[in-house]
């Protein structure tokens, strides 16, 4: 039994599952809403995370509505710069040495002069925040499952075009109960051919079949969430053998009602099956906890020792798109943390 717990905010780690608007500080949202005269529902203005049950249609609709209201408060390049800078600061505070932030630039295009200018503003903000905070930071462009697959192809081409400006991956988010993975296979082929990492969401609101579709139809090298693969031992073996990293977001899973309580999230099942994991905060604005808190959940509710938490941190680094030098530095830092 370990009695001296090391500080989890000083454990070097990579953050691979953080959504753009969802990374916002609640205080920043309140200020921006005031600036633009946007009325915030109590769930966003109270500073306490709303109760969300997204496993039913109404719950997911409510989650999306809150997210859309928050996103409507990001209207200028300055707002984008502030959001990215603060997200980087929060990550550094939590021990992150590498962040891949996920964004659908379509959502911000109307206020920022179109799709290409929107992505340029986002990438410029990421570059500036990275220089200012010292955090390695890149972008994962994500298509929306609820929209037409042709839109996803447009986004994939755009993502590839900006691969030398900081885009490292291509994702697919929103309600996985809508839109089959295979409908987006062309978009993912464009992204993969352009050297981008394929990281669609799967195995969150629906079961193991959704993860299998991401592997077979989209040739995913990472899965956003992927927790429901715990229900299928053969799928777990497949993920472990292929070394596919699952971006597991424990606080989010409980907040959205995927699992009833923290102890139910199958962290142990995935870990012991040898499936690589990268713990992520998903949408701290709505779920109330950031990166280090996810490691705290693994420690407190799943009995992960410091050696096991260090291994989770290593898995997050190995699953990232970080260059070799950054990886080596983070991995050495993890060893130092464990030796301290």
Look at residue 109 and tell me whether its pLDDT is greater than 60.
yes
pTM as predicted: 0.96
What's residue 4's pLDDT?
72
Task: Classify residue 60: in a domain, yes or no.
Answer: yes
Rounded Cα gap, residues 95 and 333, in angstroms: 10
Residue 3: per-residue pLDDT: 63
Q: Give the C-alpha separation, 45 to 157, whole Å.
A: 37
* Catalytic (active site) residue 231: no
Taking Cα atoms as reference points, which of 99, 33, 96 lies closest to residue 68? 33
Structural domain contains residue 194? yes
Per-residue model confidence (pLDDT) at position 23: 98
Q: Is residue 1 part of a domain?
A: no
Classify 305 as helix, strand or coil.
coil
pLDDT at 294: 98
The domain spanning residue 168 has which CATH number? Answer: 3.20.20.140
Q: Note the pLDDT of residue 55.
A: 60
pLDDT tier at 43, thresholds 50, 70, 90: confident
257 found inside a domain? yes
**Which has the higher per-residue pLDDT, 236 or 146?**
236
> Which is higher by pLDDT, 190 or 176?
190
Give the pLDDT confidence of 119-173 residue by residue, as tens digits: 999 999 999 999 999 999 999 999 999 899 999 999 999 999 999 999 999 999 8
* Cβ neighbourhood burial of 261 (10 Å; 0-12, 13-18, 19+): exposed
What share of the chain in percent tops pLDDT 90? 85
Whether 2 shows a pLDDT value over 70: the answer reads no
Contact residues for 34 (Cβ-Cβ < 8 A; gap 6+): none
- For 10-33, what is each residue's pLDDT tens digit? 999 999 999 999 999 999 999 999
The per-residue pLDDT of the chain, averaged, comes to 94
Q: Give me the torsion for CA of 185, 186, 190, 191, rounded to 10°.
A: -30
What's the whole-number mean pLDDT along residues 247-273? Answer: 95
As a 3-state breakdown, the chain gives helix, strand, coil percent values, each rounded to 5, of 55, 15, 30
Q: What is the pLDDT of residue 64?
A: 83
Task: Give pLDDT, residue 82.
Answer: 98
In a domain, 107, yes or no: yes
Domain count, the chain: 1
Q: How do residues 196-232 score in pLDDT, each as one tens digit?
A: 999 999 998 889 999 999 999 999 999 999 999 999 9
Question: How far is residue 316's CA from residue 179's CA, in Å, rounded to a whole number?
Answer: 28
* Contact residues for 68 (Cβ-Cβ < 8 A; gap 6+): none
Beta bridge partners of 139: 101, 167
Question: What's the rounded mean pLDDT across residues 256-266?
Answer: 94
| DSSP-assigned beta bridge partners for residue 224 | 201, 247
In terms of residue numbers, what domain contains 164?
Answer: 8-339
Catalytic residue among 90, 100, 176, 204: 204
Beta carbons within 10 angstroms of residue 56's beta carbon: 11
- 2: in domain: no
Helix H or strand E segment including 277: strand 277-279
Provide mean pLDDT across the span 251-257. 92
């Amino acid at each position: 039994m370990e009695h001296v717990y090391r500080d989890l905010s000083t454990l070097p780690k990579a953050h691979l599952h953080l959504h753009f608007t969802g990374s916002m500080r609640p205080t920043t949202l309140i200020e921006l809403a005031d600036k633009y005269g946007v009325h915030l529902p109590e769930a966003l203005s109270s500073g306490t995370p709303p109760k969300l049950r997204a496993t039913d249609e109404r719950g997911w609709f409510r989650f999306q509505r809150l997210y859309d209201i928050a996103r409507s408060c990001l209207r200028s390049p300055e707002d984008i710069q502030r959001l990215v800078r603060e997200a980087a600061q929060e990550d550094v505070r939590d021990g992150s040495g590498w962040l891949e932030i996920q964004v659908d630039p379509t959502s911000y295009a109307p206020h920022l002069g179109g799709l290409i200018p929107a992505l340029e503003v986002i990438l410029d903000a990421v570059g500036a925040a990275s220089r200012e905070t010292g955090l390695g930071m890149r972008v994962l462009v994500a298509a929306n499952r609820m929209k037409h697959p042709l839109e996803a192809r447009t986004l994939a081409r755009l993502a590839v075009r900006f691969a030398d400006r900081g885009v490292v991956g291509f994702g697919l988010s929103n309600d996985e109960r809508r839109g089959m993975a295979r409908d987006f296979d062309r978009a993912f082929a464009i992204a993969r051919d352009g050297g981008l990492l394929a990281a669609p969401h799967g195995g969150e609101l629906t079961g193991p079949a959704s993860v299998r579709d991401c592997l077979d139809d989209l040739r995913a090298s990472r899965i956003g969430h992927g927790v429901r693969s715990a229900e299928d031992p053969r799928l777990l073996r497949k993920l472990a053998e292929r070394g596919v990293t699952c971006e597991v977001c424990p606080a989010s899973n409980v907040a959205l009602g995927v699992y009833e309580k923290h102890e139910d999230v199958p962290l142990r099942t995935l870990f012991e099956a040898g499936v690589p994991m990268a713990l992520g905060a998903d949408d701290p604005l709505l779920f109330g906890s950031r990166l280090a808190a996810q490691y705290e959940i693994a420690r407190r509710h799943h009995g992960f020792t410091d050696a096991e938490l260090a291994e989770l941190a290593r898995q997050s680094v190995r699953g990232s798109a970080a260059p070799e030098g950054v990886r080596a530095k983070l991995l050495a830092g993890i060893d130092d943390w464990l030796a301290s």
